[in-house]
Amino acid sequence: MVNLFLSGAQFVDGITENKSFIDIFSDFGMYAVWIIWGIGLVFHTWSVFGFIFLFEKDWEARKIRKYMND
């Protein structure tokens, strides 16, 4: 919701400055919010699940064994 609001605000700001549609959407600022949030989500995922989570195939079986043993 926040990203949509910020992108919409940038779009409206571009319209009020009489910029063309291509000029508005070719501006890096339109995508910077989405890229920064995406990078933040990747780092948060790594902190929660660990980096190895993306590469191991038996992670689900290990988690089940862990919860069964606890």
pTM over 0.85: no
Nearest alpha-carbon partner for 27 in 35, 48, 44: 35
Tens of pLDDT, residue by residue over 13-67, are 889 999 998 888 888 888 888 899 899 998 998 888 776 655 677 777 888 888 9
Residue corresponding to tokens 């291509």: 22
Residue 17 gets which letter from DSSP?
A: T
